[in-house]
Structure 1
Amino acid sequence: MILCCGESLIDMVPEDGAFLPLPGGSVYNTAVALGRLGADAGYLWPISTDDFGAALRGPLEKAGVDLSLCPATDRLTTLAFVFLNDGHASYSFYDEATAGRMFDEGELPALPDGLEALFIGGISLIQDPCGATVDEVAHRAAESGAVVMVDLNIRPNLIRDERATKSRLEGLMRVADIVKISDDDAAWLFPDHAPEDSAVQLLDLGPLLILRTHGAEGATAIHRNGQVNRKAEPVEIADTIGAGDTFNAGLLTALSEAGVLDKTALEKLDEETLGKALDLAARAAAVTVSRPGANPPWREEL
């Protein structure tokens, strides 16, 4: 199983002068995309008993994602208002005392036996108490031998304590086997270095694979055995909501199907296998950006 642990929320997406509520959240989107692509996927995050919580469960269940680890809570669902500028999304979050934000370590279930990989990322890494809980899950997964992937996906406008946030993210990067970092993430974390240099240097912290994303220019996978670059698939963009999340799912699905989603195999990863994983990730992400909202493709759409 590939287990996703991180935020789910309702994206309030602009439509005809109003806002349309749609299920979303960075890690949630990745879980849905994994299920739609055919991966054995699970999700770990508190889901509210309110109507928005029911809306979040639907796409996960339809995609075949295992929700047995999700605590139920009466706290309200987080809302994220989306603002689009030439198709590119920015967000305002409303999450004080919400279901996910208040996720405490005491609510953590035991991780499933035979866990293949853990995926974490998004705003759930920087908010507390949920951030400390995700941190604990990552350490438990690493100790169990599972591959840990973290997508930094930093939202500077939500960060109140830069020093504490950078310390937590550095700690997670030392635990992780796969780290995804955008050029914007790199500029915030390492303002005195070029993004391409920062990405390469992250290998020194311990990860086996770094994924550097650079917008319309595509993505570069950085491994001790070399680098592989893939341009973004040419497509007419509706918006970019969920594109990176779908990319994550495509990559993990491909690595799992190739039998290399374990620490030993990742150390020996060859360029051909890595290139095929990037191909699936890019194709899946291209479908997502071609239609409104976070709507990852089903495998047959590829």
Structure 2
Amino acid sequence: MRQLELRHIRCIVCVAKHLHFARAAEELDLAPPSLTKLIQEAERLLGVRLFHRTKRSVALSAAGEAWLAEAVPALEQLSRGAERAALAERGELGRVEVGYIASAAFTGVLRKAAGGFREAYPRVDITVREVPMDRIPAMLADGQLDAAYVRPPMQLLDGIETATVYRDAFVVALPEDSELAAFPSLAPAQLRDQCFVLPEQEAGTLELARRGRFLPKLGPQPGTLAAVLSCVSLGGMVAIVPHTLAECMALPGVVYRDIKGKPIPSEIALAYRKYERAPAVRAFLDFAKNR
């Protein structure tokens, strides 16, 4: 059985607005006879008379008024649906789940990217949460996260890529009562006898030991950088941490010292799915890579 089509609905609404076939036809860019034919088709399909028509006037019938009360909101909803579909296609509507490690917040990288994206794309729902770095690759792969800030190097699953968004260098965090705290900077070899608290990213510690030509004595790996510094503050251990931490996190009993020689690089990278299809996620990735 033939159903009423969208073109019929638009014609009825337009005639009801003007109560004049010629003006409605002009707005719809139709010839008046074509508009008349479409209205007649609609009335046949509905089985009711929508308009009372004479040579001089057009008026809605009771059936027309009842139909219009339901049709206009439906037509407006269809229009909103088309607008939202277009927004979603352009990446201006949707949802983005972002994971991060603490140093992404300390450096301001997270604020610039997530905060700036919220302002530029107010209709996109972006949520952020701190996540242990070793869980990030799997969470990206199974869709629990759409993007995540990490510290390379790290093991990535197939289909996951990274882009560097911040460059830093490692420094030494040590107890303020340590004999080494008397030095303004430390050579790697001076740390030979120390026990190292390990951040989630071990690369800085291992590189320092390589440069100092010793096998490091490894202590606990408590998780977040705040937890690492807490261990240092208790005394007896040191940690190799990003320089940014020295600028924004002061704990009682902890001091920071530069490492002599060529800086040991520390980076923050944005990890994401290589073949991302969601337009809102792609928009965030493009935005975040250029902050």
User: Do both proteins adopt the same fold according to a TM-score greater than 0.5, normalized to the shorter chain?
Assistant: no
Bigger Rg, structure 1 or 2: 2
More helix by proportion, 1 or 2? 2
- Structure with the greater relative contact order (CA < 8 A, sep ≥ 6): 1 or 2? 2
User: Normalising by structure 1, what TM-score?
Assistant: 0.23
